[in-house]
Amino acid sequence: MSPDAGGRRAWRARWAARARAWHARVARLRAAAERRFPVITELTARLLSANLLEAGTRLAAQVFLTAVPLLFVVAAFAPHDVRSALLASARGVFGLNGAAERQLREVHGTGSEELRQTTGAIGVVIALLSATSTSRAMARICERAWRLPRPAARTAVWRWFAWLVTWLGALVLQGPLRDGFGAGPAVGVPLTLVSDILLWWWTQWLLLASRVAWRPLLPGAVLTAAAMTALSATARLYMPTALNRSLATYGSLGSVFTMQSWLIATCVVVAFTLTTGAVLAPVLPLRHRPPSFE
């Protein structure tokens, strides 16, 4: 054997030994982290198994596909006060102005007889039935967060409709809530945060078919409400400029992409906070421990 071949073999042996040493060190560090920080390791495993990006993207797509037909249904059949409240809520949540606000007003500004005839009763029923896909997508996120199987259809169907109707009502009230019912943002922001906590708390309990007690669901509700409040503040700064620029450059199609991007980011955050709440619940000082579903 030549000296060069022997040197290469020794070099490879040294690097193989170093690789084995690094692998053993990483394994020891991982084991130590699991012992010292079990919540972090469990959260990482739960987030990976829940596939947050896929779940958030699916939920965002369902929300968008639900919002478009319901937009026309509300514009066609809702009373003037409800349409005005919805416009105020859209302005409050997204800070709409300029071209984006005018486009929304064109749809919701009138409840004309022609629009009612175009939509029709069958269109209303189809819109409501298709809207349950959003309820199902949200329920699936909650189930993945808690590692629960899907409940029987007879148990879940009415919950999908109840969740949908409640959220439509909550959207209509967003404008007055954020304004503190006339008292201003100093009252409106805390009021919105508290109402969001209650809404997300009830959402989990309802869509999980009452299989988890109320107390363990509170951390996820608080985290999600806080994240939604922060995202709402960001939306008021970003969305008006982004929507108006998209409308000016690409027309209505541009606003679709802008809104869908924001929805994906929001839904991924929802999936993350609900999953984090499910992981934190067993280690927080809650009187009723959540059952183990593993």
Encoding tokens for residue 163?
């969740």
Residue linked to tokens 């109707």: 165
Average pLDDT estimate for 132-161 = 87
CA distances from 8 to 17, 20, 21, 22, 90 (A): 14, 18, 20, 21, 69
Helix H or strand E encompassing 167:
helix 153-172
DSSP letter (8 states) at residue 172: H
pLDDT band at 93 (very low <50, low <70, confident <90, very high): low
Close Cβ partners of 33 (under 8 Å, ≥ 6 residues apart): 40, 41
Residue 7 lies in a domain: no
Residue 218: closest CA among 246, 235, 199: 199
- Where is average pLDDT lowest: 64-78, 116-130, 189-203, 270-284? 116-130
Question: Considering the domain boundaries, does residue 1 fall inside one?
Answer: no
The per-residue pLDDT for 290 is 46
Report yes or no on 23 lying in a domain.
Answer: no
Measured in residues, the chain has a length of 294
To the nearest whole number, what is the mean pLDDT of the chain?
76
**If DSSP codes are grouped into helix, strand and coil, which group holds residue 37?**
coil
CB neighbours (10 Å) of residue 83? 21
Is 166 inside a domain boundary?
A: yes
For 9-37, the pLDDT digits (tens) are 777 777 777 777 777 776 666 565 555 55
Q: What's the total number of domains in the chain?
A: 1
Domain membership flag for residue 26:
no
Helix (H) or strand (E) holding 102: helix 98-108
Residue 237 lies in a domain: yes
Q: Which two tokens stand for residue 71?
A: 């937009």
Residues contacting residue 170 through CB under 8 Å, at least 6 positions apart: 195, 199
- DSSP, residue by residue, 129-155: HHHHHHHHHHHHHHHHHHT-PPPPHHH
Instruction: Identify the domain containing residue 242 by its residue range.
Output: 50-283
Asked if the model's pLDDT at residue 120 lies above 60, the reply is no
Mean pLDDT of all residues in 195-213: 93
Q: How far apart are CA 133 and CA 31, in angstroms?
A: 41
Q: Specify if 10 maps to a domain.
A: no
Q: Is residue 234 part of a domain?
A: yes
pLDDT, position 203: 95
| Total Cβ atoms within 10 A of residue 212 | 22
**C-alpha span between 247 and 259 (Å, rounded):** 11
pLDDT higher at 200 or 280: 200
Task: Kindly state the DSSP code that residue 286 receives in the 8-state scheme.
Answer: -
Cβ atoms within 10 A of the Cβ of 79, count? 10
Place of tokens 């073999």: 9
> Would you say 151 and 205 are in contact if contact means Cβ atoms under 8 Å apart?
no
